[in-house]
Chains A and B, each alone.
Chain A
């Protein structure tokens, strides 16, 4: 018996691969800009914008805009709620792997 609750659902917001990648990047830094996230996730501008908005709407990330010289810079950072959700999601995956390993 592993004690894993198979009826429980993973966090659907993070479960989506593109959003999971965004959360993975933001989990190891304070913030990352739009260009970096686009390069790391391999998403198009439009798609990344949609995924960031989705994560922002549930309160997992914070988006801020600033000017560096004359260029605008949009950065995203993980909120406390987001970090908690990401840790919970990781724990969920670890549990499911442990429960199905043998």
Chain B
């Protein structure tokens, strides 16, 4: 890799250089996963509606929190970069894909009239979900050249295999998967953030 390609690579992965996105994402995962796990363990169905509320609140809020923290910590130390938004067609495709997956899972759960989905089908969906998450992290390792995301990818695949082995149900499995991934992600993010702050002291206000 030459100096120019390295510069471009560093700029592309700058978003993840401070660990803030991982901390916020990790906390969001825990807030979604923990009530699901608790619902499956205690049998209180009501608890399983909490993640939905968390998701509705967290999606717009987490982006704001990341932006706020980056303004306070990162931009004052190593500068500000604005990334181009993906084209509308790609955003629309991603949205349609997510809605279709959500509807499919909802239909399966309703048609089986078994909200915990403790069968083969539930286990298969859980396995697919775990490997899907692992794949997303693996792509990030390759695209951003950040090996630390291997830990998340390995955790997701290892955990989903272990959950399949012990025969965990869908809701319980998803809850545990998201909670553990969230904690690991947040801890890694904290370590990265501490190291980032130590390496980059605050710089006085710019003048151009």
Contact A25 B8 (CB under 8 A): yes
Within the assembled complex, what's the spacing in Å between the Cα atoms of A30 and B14?
Answer: 13
| Chain A CB within 8 A of B205 CB | yes
User: A32 touching B206 by the CB < 8 A rule?
Assistant: no
Q: Which of B8, B79, B83, B207 contacts A36 (CB 8 A)?
A: B79
Contact present for A29 and B84 (CB under 8 Å): yes
Contact A33 B4 (CB under 8 A): no
Q: Is the CB of A20 within 8 A of B80?
A: no
Contact of B78 among A35, A49, A68, A72 (CB under 8 A): A35
User: What's the A-B contact tally at a CB cutoff of 8 Å?
Assistant: 78
Query: In the complex, how many angstroms separate the beta carbon of B207 from the nearest chain A beta carbon?
Result: 7
Contact of A28 with B by CB under 8 A: yes
Residue contact B79 to A32, C-beta cutoff 8 Å: yes
- Whether A36 touches B205, Cβ cut-off 8 Å, given contacts A24-B7, A25-B11, A68-B71, is no
How far, in Å, is B176 (CB) from chain A's closest CB? 37
Least CB separation from B203: chain A residue? A35
Nearest opposing residue in chain B for A48, CB measure: B208
B76-109 vs A, CB cutoff 8 Å, 1 = contact: the mask equals 1011111111000000000000000000000000
Q: Is B12 an interface residue (CB 8 A)?
A: yes
Residue interface bits B183-205, CB-to-A below 8 A is 1, else 0: 00000000000000000000101
Contact indicator per residue, chain A 1-35, by CB within 8 Å of chain B (1) or not (0): 00000000000000000001100110111111111
- Cβ of B112 within 8 Å of any chain A Cβ, yes or no, is no
A34 cross-chain contacts in B, Cβ below 8 A: 79, 206, 208
Known pairs A35-B78, A38-B79, A75-B80; A28 contacts B208 (CB<8 A): no
Across the interface, which residues of B come within 8 angstroms of A52, CB to CB?
208
A32–B80 touching, CB < 8 Å: yes
Residue B75 is within 8 A (CB to CB) of chain A in the complex: yes
Say whether B78 contacts A39, CB under 8 Å. Answer: yes
Chain B residues, CB < 8 A from A40:
7, 10-11
In contact, B11 and A29 (Cβ under 8 angstroms): yes
A20-B4, A72-B206, A74-B208 in contact; A33/B75 too (CB < 8 A)? yes
**A to B CB contacts below 8 Å, 22 in the list:** A20-B4, A21-B4, A24-B8, A24-B11, A29-B83, A30-B82, A31-B81, A32-B81, A33-B79, A33-B81, A36-B78, A36-B79, A36-B80, A36-B81, A38-B79, A39-B79, A40-B7, A72-B206, A72-B208, A73-B80, A73-B206, A74-B208
